[in-house]
């Protein structure tokens, strides 16, 4: 039986990170940092990270060759 339930959404709490790592930062500054961070993050950055994981998985787990590598086997 195929398992159709898996974690497929990414959520990151920037504010919680700031509170944990910069405990003296005030709310106003955290709000600004959250806004600026969200302006910097884009789909392309996330897609590049996913593509890196796909390539790593293909090479390590499925023993595929990278498209750049010649097939010497």
Between residues 21 and 67, which one has the greater pLDDT? 21
The confidence score (pLDDT) of residue 69 equals 57
3-state secondary structure of 13: coil
> Cα angle at 65 between 69 and 58, to 5 degrees?
140
pTM for the predicted model, two decimal places: 0.65
3-state secondary structure of 5: coil
The confidence score (pLDDT) of residue 65 equals 62
pLDDT tens figures, 7-57: 888 899 999 999 999 999 999 999 999 999 999 999 999 999 999 999 888
- Helix (H) or strand (E) holding 15, with range, is helix 14-21
């Amino acid at each position: 039986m195929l398992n159709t339930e898996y974690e497929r959404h990414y959520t990151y709490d920037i504010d919680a990170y700031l509170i944990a790592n910069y405990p003296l930062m005030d709310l106003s500054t955290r709000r600004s940092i959250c806004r600026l961070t969200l302006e910097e993050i884009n789909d392309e950055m996330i897609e590049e990270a996913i593509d890196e994981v796909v390539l790593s998985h293909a090479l390590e787990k499925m023993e595929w060759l990278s498209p750049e590598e010649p097939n010497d086997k």
